[in-house]
Copies of this chain bind each other. A is one copy, B any other.
Amino acid sequence: MARYSPSIQQLIVQLSELPGIGKKSAQRMAFHILAMEDEKARALTESIDNARKLVKRCSVCQNLTDSDPCYVCSDGMRDKTTVMVVETPQDVSTFERMHEYKGLYHVLHGVFDPLKHKSIGDTTITQLVSRLSSHSEIKEVIVATNQTAEGNATALYLARLIAPSGIKVTRLASGLPMGSDIEYADDLTLASALRGRVDLTEN
């Protein structure tokens, strides 16, 4: 282990606990932070404190936001008949970047994951159910959880939970990515693309 003075050592330890930051990166970041101008360093710690103070969950869609309701839920131009269920706030941002989807969101903040002891109570499914029952204008729920075992299990659970209310539940298509070569596709993706094949003669 490299030897640094206690406060540098402590800074490196704290930084290396951030996701994706190894020991080398943490060292580099620590010395960068030590060399920063006062104003810059203050901006960094203030942005951490500020975000942690201001950010809360939107009372409607559970996305992380400074203002409640969030900018999507308070946008009068959005299609209020459709709700897309995603796992994380990052997913909302990804769909918004696409500028294609005009409906609302619901952020689960997780999925079922027996291995990590994550159950329904660790997601915002309860809030989703009460939202669906109190907003009769919602006609479709698009489940956009990840294409993983956990994401799929959560999607199936949601479909069974919501179906009795008469609301349509759909799932994002799975299959070959655009521009991809069949030669390099993995077996699961190929099987899923085959099962989900679409009829080109249908019109």
Contact = CB atoms under 8 A, between A and B. Distances in A.
Could you say which of A5, A34, A53, A88 has the most chain B C-beta atoms within 10 Å of its C-beta? A5
Interface of A: 1-8, 10-11, 13-15, 17-21, 25, 27-34, 36, 38, 40-41, 43-45, 47-55, 64-67, 70-71, 88-90, 93-94, 96-97
Give 6 closest A-B pairs by Cβ, nearest first.
Answer: A2-B93, A5-B66, A11-B51, A14-B47, A7-B54, A7-B51
17 contacts: A2-B94, A3-B96, A4-B89, A5-B55, A5-B67, A5-B71, A7-B47, A7-B51, A7-B66, A8-B64, A11-B47, A14-B47, A15-B47, A17-B44, A27-B93, A30-B51, A33-B48
Nearest to A3: B96
A121 to B, nearest CB: 17
Given A5-B66, A27-B90, A11 B50 contact: yes
Contacts of A18: 29, 32-33
Given A20-B29, A71-B3, A44 B48 contact: yes
Contacts of A25: 20
Contacts of A51: 7-8, 10-11, 30, 33-34
A1 B50 contact: no
Contacts of A11: 47-48, 50-51
B19 A28 contact: yes
Nearest to A20: B25
A89 B64 CA distance: 40
A41 B32 contact: no
Given A8-B55, A48-B11, A3 B93 contact: yes
Contact of A29 (B19, B41, B93): B19
Contacts of A20: 25, 28-29
Contact of A44 (B2, B14, B94, B97): B14
A102 B31 CA distance: 25
